[in-house]
Every structure is written in structure tokens, then in C-alpha cells.
Amino acid sequence: MVKMYYNEDADLKYLEGKKVAVIGYGSQGHAQAQNMREAGLDVIVGQRKGGASYEQAVADGFKPVSAAEAAKQADVIQVLLPDEVQKKVYYNDIEPNLEAGNALVFSHGFNIHFEQILPPTDVDVYMVAPKGPGHLVRRVYEDGSGVPCLIAIYQDATGDAKEKALAHAKGVGGTRAGVIETSFKEETETDLFGEQAVLCGGASELVRAGFETLVDAGYQPEIAYFECLHELKLIVDLMYEGGIATMRDSISDTAEYGDLIAGKQVINDKSREAMQKLLKDIQTGEFAKQWLLENQVGRPAYSKRKEIDANHQIEQVGEKLRSKMNWIEE
């Protein structure tokens, strides 16, 4: 069993007396900055003016400054910008303001692992990556608990990088739930694989394929929506609580028999080969190169595919049905 770190394994003193800059006040930025401030750390927000994130930071009681100013004032600089813009902001605004002994922090390893950002050797470089979306990182912290985090040390210039990473994870709330140590390589590759093959790419295509199969066979789209999308949450909640075995305990034996004989017909050797191909492209840097190039040319494929999927029948049916589900808001 891998070692888990909890509150008692982390000491905030490694970040006390230091200023922590959170650069980018988006999904992760707003959550991590507020959690760390409530944990008693000295947090400054770097967020460009004009836009919802800037207004949100002000509304949350911060006095946001430019990324360059935040990096200049801070000893610990956490980069919570979109992965594809981190390189530019790093070289323009952060690197010129780094001093020996500072710490550079990420919540995903993309830019370090794929060598988009090459930090100087005299700063600590570590990662604190919450394993959940930003709004959950904030909400769960306010409820007194935390979202599990990964930490990783890329460069230990001061000798305290790991202690700082654990303290940082404690500030974010991660040590309330459990922290696991990984490497930048492992976090980057598994995070990209998980979102592509299973969580985002795999799940959304599975849902659409099931929906289309039913609708093409003449069933009502509303019924197909409930069976293939809506109920997925209920099943995933059971898996989250007790694994696949507990989920199977809760469903009818008919559903369980169907699960046992049908799953491998849908996800089979061909799907596994496709997963291996995705993983290879992630490991070789092919995916990273493709995504960075896509951004450089203005995201044509990204925009086109997004538009096609946004116009899929399942979205229209879903919008109508969800507008009548007043319990979803909560």
C-alpha cells in the first residue's frame, strides 16, 4: 500500500513567513487561494484585469495584481493558468522575478514534464494536484474536509521542497483527505490518459453511442437520455462509495448478469488497443505537441468538434429535461 500523508504529516511552518502567489484565479486558482488563506497562509493573487476571474478575486476579498508583480512579491509562485498559456506567462512575467530559494508550484505537470518550462536550478519545483475540480476543492474545504491531492518534487534546491509541498497540500485541504507522492512524469501521463480514455473522452462517447443506438432503433430520445446519461451518475456514485463490487450489489441480479456478459462485448480488445495507442501518444509527447500546435493555429479542430458535439440531439433533449429537474440546481 502506497504511503498516504495526512494533517499530522504536514507542517505549515515551512510556508509561514513566506508569501504565496496564486497566478490565475480560475477553477483551481479561486479554490486553492481561498483555502490557503483560510489556513493562515499569506496569499496574493496574480490575475490580469478585465474579466470574470478578476472580478471574482476582488469579490472574494483579494487585491489582485499582475502576474509579474505577484511573482516579484512572492516566495512561492503557484502557476494556475491554463496549461497552454503557462509557458508564455512564465517567460514574460514569472521567470524575471524568480529569486534563488523561491518555489515554483504547479497543479499539473504538463509544462515541466514536456519541457515547455525549464526552471532555473536554484528554485524548488513541486506539484500539488487536487484530484477533483476546483469548485469541489473549495466546497469540500468549507465543509471541513478536503479533496485528496498528489504531490511531486521535480527539483529540491533548498532541501525543504517536500516539506513545502506537504505544507502547501495542507493549506489546500488535501492532507485532510490524504496525499500521495508521485512524479511529474507519472502525474502528467496518467492524468492525460485518464481524462482521454475513461473520464472525459471514453465516458462521453460511451454515453452518446448508447443514446444513438436507442434513438436510431426508434425509441424516444427522452427515454434514451435517462437510460444512457442521467442514470450514469447514480451508478458512478455507487462505484465511488464502494467500488465496482458495491455497485453490483445494489443493482438487480438481472442488471448484474447483463453487466457481466455485455461489458466485455462493448469494451474489448479493440478498445484496449485504442487505449494503448492513446497512452503511447501521451508518453512520446505526440499528444502534447499536437495540443500545443492546435493552440498556435487558433484551435480549428477543437472548435469544430466542440460545435458538432454541442449540436448533438442528446444536448437538446437533455436541456429540456433538466429544466424540469429542479433538484439538480442543489
Closest CA to 94 of 113, 81, 110: 81
186 in a labelled binding site:
no
Least Å distance between CB 251 and ligand NAD? 29
Q: Is 231 known to sit in a ligand binding site?
A: yes
| DSSP code for 1 | -
> Is residue 303 part of an annotated ligand binding site?
no
307 is in an annotated binding site: no
Q: How far apart are CA 274 and CA 280, in angstroms?
A: 10
Residue number, 252 or 311, with CB nearest to Mg ion: 252
The set of cell numbers assigned to 230 is 442521467
315 is in an annotated binding site: no
Q: Which is nearer to ligand NAD, 173 or 317 (CB)?
A: 173
Q: Using CB under 5 A, which of 156, 256, 281, 294 touches Mg ion?
A: 256
The residues that touch ligand NAD, with contacts defined as CB under 6 A, are: 24-29, 47-48, 51, 53, 80-83, 85, 89, 107-108, 129-130, 133-134
Return d(Cα 218, Cα 255) in angstroms, integer: 22
Query: What, of Mg ion, ligand NAD, none, does residue 256 touch, CB below 5 to 8 Å by kind?
Result: Mg ion
Question: DSSP secondary structure string, 180-232?
Answer: EEE-HHHHHHHHHHIIIIIITHHHHHHHHHHHHHHHHTT--HHHHHIIIIIHH
Between vectors from CA 89 to CA 281 and to CA 279, what angle results, nearest 5°? 10
Residue 134 or residue 173: which is nearer to ligand NAD going by CB? Answer: 134
Closest CA to 165 of 35, 14, 24: 14
Burial of 32 (0-12, 13-18, 19+ CB in 10 A): buried
Least spacing, CB of residue 9 vs Mg ion, in Å: 23
List the single partner that 83 binds among Mg ion, ligand NAD, none, CB under 5 to 8 Å by kind.
ligand NAD
CB of 295 to ligand NAD, least distance (A): 11
Please choose, from the candidates 132, 120, 113, 322, the residue with its C-alpha nearest in 3D space to the C-alpha of residue 240: 132
Q: Which helix (H) or strand (E) holds 130?
A: strand 124-130
Pair 261, 248: CB distance under 8 Å: no
For residues 89 and 152, which CB has a smaller minimum distance to ligand NAD in the complex? 89
Determine whether the annotation assigns residue 210 to a binding site.
no
CB 269, min distance to ligand NAD, A: 31
Question: Between residues 55 and 227, which has the closer beta carbon with respect to Mg ion?
Answer: 227
48 is in an annotated binding site: yes
Q: From residue 45, how far is each of 89, 102, 235 by CA, in Å? A: 15, 17, 39
Choosing from 108, 113, 135, 312, the catalytic residue is 108
Q: Closest distance between ligand NAD and the C-beta of residue 309, in Å?
A: 19
Q: Which is nearer to Mg ion, 7 or 210 (CB)?
A: 210
108 carries an active-site annotation: yes
CB of 201 to Mg ion, least distance (A): 12
d(Cα 96, Cα 59) in Å, to the nearest integer? 30
Q: If we measure between CA atoms, which residue out of 262, 274, 33 comes closest to residue 141?
A: 33
- Per-residue x/- mask for Mg ion, residues 75 to 104, rule CB under 5 A? ------------------------x-----
- Among positions 166, 191, 197, 211, the unique one binding Mg ion when judged by CB under 5 A: 191
Rounded to the nearest 5 degrees, what angle is found at the Cα of 198, between the Cα atoms of 193 and 199?
Answer: 100
- Residues that constitute the known binding site for NADP(+): 25-28, 48, 53, 134
Catalytic positions, written as ranges: 108
- Residues that constitute the known binding site: 25-28, 48, 53, 134, 191, 195, 227, 231, 252
| Contacting positions for Mg ion (CB under 5 A) | 99, 191, 253, 256
